[in-house]
Amino acid sequence: MKIVVIGSGLIGIATAYFLGCRGHEVTVIDQEPGPGRGTSFANGSLLTPSMSEPWNAPGSWRVLLASLGRPDSAMQLRLRAVPSLAGWGIEFLRNSTPAIYRQNSLNNLRLARHSLAVTHSLRQEIDLDYDNAAAGSLRIFRDPAALERAVASASTLTSQGLRLRTLSRAQAVELEPGLEPIAAGLAGAIHYEDDETGNAYEFCLALAEQARRRGVTFLFGVQAAGLESRSARVTAVRSHCGRLFTADRYVVAAGSYSTPLLRSVGIRLPVRPVKGYSITIDTSGTPRGLDIPVVDDDLHAVVVPLANAIRVAGTAEFTGYDLRPNATRTHNLLGLLRAVLPRKQFDSGSAKPWCGLRAMAADGVPLVGTTRISNLLVSTGHGHLGWTMAAGSGQLLAELICGETPSIDPAAFAPTRFAAGL
């Protein structure tokens, strides 16, 4: 089959790789100058089945309303984004009831754990070098009540195979000695044993090269301007310069930009952009200060040790497609770094700020599968779990396209679960 994949981030590259392995003629197009240059470029560097809960937790609407006018809020709603969130927001809130939220968390966990297993298989089968480490992640708490709530909430996920350990203050410092300077203020921690770290951009580069070796063609600097259709089938992808790309199957894996692209064929995708930030500080020649990634529960962000660098990432800003950097958000991440590692001297002037648009589905569960247009498939809406779910989503979509028995039940991720427009 001839297949066009729109998007060369983590999701698109993984999909193209698995399709290429099956012998299909695959062309990937992307507006960026190379693979992984969008939201995948400087993300939080974590593969985290532990973070399978969607962002629309019960009561999250209060957090969003309280964020208006508060630049230090971890989750922030900008007034200018409200009109574009109207219908999506209703669906977001409808899925925040305790029962639906719990089920969606379990759905995410299934895909996350499956995807991590697929990622492990990829590392064993092909040469993937992306600074991987498998020490887990450490979520620290300053409030004993918050720790108790987190442990109780995690019981839903542990019943489905998520491995974790609840640690006392002393045990947390024993696992990560870099926390000793702030130990007096800690109530305890949770060690999520299955989480991993790595450089997502390097993963994209390595997997794209493996895809090329399997015959996949990558065309960069090509912006998909719209889809053309006839008789309930896509007939071509129209590029910004008027060039047409034709195929038997079309896969839209363009992250947040999948939503406006699919409007051209009448599909109303319940996915909206949520801006996230990171800073990366070079630590070449000096100790990093941490050996295990630390998730600060109070500040809702992560500090991740990488090869010769420390990355701090977090915050969620509902601000539409605005990719302009916000200095206040970057300053907040620097404040988190100082709060976690107060004695470590970092050159904040060398910090490389970055922001990207996470594609967030209205129910917090990704959309992976077919649409009402027979030869059009999508894979987007992975939110904060894009890298965690990338390999599994790519494999699943390839299986669906090829008519194979899926390695994981696709029903919970089917785009058609949103009846209107899909």
Helix 98-125 vs helix 386-401: angle between axes, to the nearest 10 degrees? 80
Q: Are 181 and 343 in contact (CB under 8 A)?
A: yes
Give domain status of residue 212, yes or no.
yes
Interatomic CA distance for residues 235 and 2, integer angstroms:
12
Query: Could you tell me how many residues make up the chain?
Result: 422
Domain count, the chain: 1
Interatomic CA distance for residues 120 and 115, integer angstroms:
9
Secondary element (H or E) of residue 29: strand 25-30
* Per-residue pLDDT at 320: 87
Q: Are 294 and 263 in contact (CB under 8 A)?
A: no
Give domain status of residue 152, yes or no.
no
CA separation (Å) from 377 to 232, 262, 380, 401, 410? 13, 11, 10, 8, 13
Rounded to a whole number of angstroms, the distance between the first and last alpha carbons of the chain is 24
Secondary element (H or E) of residue 376: strand 376-380
Helix 144-158 vs helix 98-125: angle between axes, to the nearest 10 degrees? 70
* Per-residue pLDDT at 357: 95
* Per-residue pLDDT at 92: 87
* Per-residue pLDDT at 328: 86
Q: Are 4 and 34 in contact (CB under 8 A)?
A: no
Give domain status of residue 157, yes or no.
no
Q: Are 389 and 382 in contact (CB under 8 A)?
A: yes
* Per-residue pLDDT at 301: 87
> Token pair for residue 239?
């590029």
Nearest to 399 by CA among 366, 360, 364, 370: 370
Give domain status of residue 29, yes or no.
yes
Give long-range contacts, CB 8 A cutoff, 24+ apart: 21-26.
21/214, 21/398, 22/398, 22/402, 23/215, 24/401, 24/402, 25/1, 25/215, 26/211, 26/215, 26/216, 26/217
List per-residue pLDDT tens for the chain, 422 residues long. 999 999 999 999 999 999 999 999 999 999 999 999 999 999 999 999 999 999 888 876 566 555 555 566 666 565 555 656 677 888 888 898 999 999 999 999 999 999 999 999 999 999 899 999 999 999 999 999 999 999 998 888 998 999 999 999 999 999 999 999 999 999 999 999 999 999 999 999 999 999 999 999 999 999 999 999 999 999 999 999 889 999 999 999 999 999 999 999 999 999 999 999 999 999 887 777 899 999 998 778 899 999 889 999 988 888 889 998 888 888 889 999 999 999 888 887 889 999 999 999 999 999 999 999 999 999 999 999 999 999 999 999 999 999 999 999 999 999 999 875 57
Q: Whole-model pTM?
A: 0.94
* Per-residue pLDDT at 97: 93
Interatomic CA distance for residues 331 and 348, integer angstroms:
10
* Per-residue pLDDT at 71: 60
Q: Show Cβ contacts of residue 213 under 8 Å, excluding neighbours closer than 6 positions.
A: none
The β-bridge partners of 139 are 190, 295
Give domain status of residue 23, yes or no.
yes
CATH number at residue 357: 3.50.50.60
* Per-residue pLDDT at 80: 57
Q: Show Cβ contacts of residue 399 under 8 Å, excluding neighbours closer than 6 positions.
A: 18, 405, 406, 407
Question: DSSP class of residue 5?
Answer: E
Give domain status of residue 146, yes or no.
no
- Structural domain boundaries enclosing 226: 2-136+194-417
Give domain status of residue 145, yes or no.
no
Dihedral of alpha carbons 167, 168, 169, 173, sign: negative
> Token pair for residue 142?
């300053």
Question: DSSP class of residue 396?
Answer: H
Give domain status of residue 247, yes or no.
yes
Nearest to 264 by CA among 233, 227, 236: 227
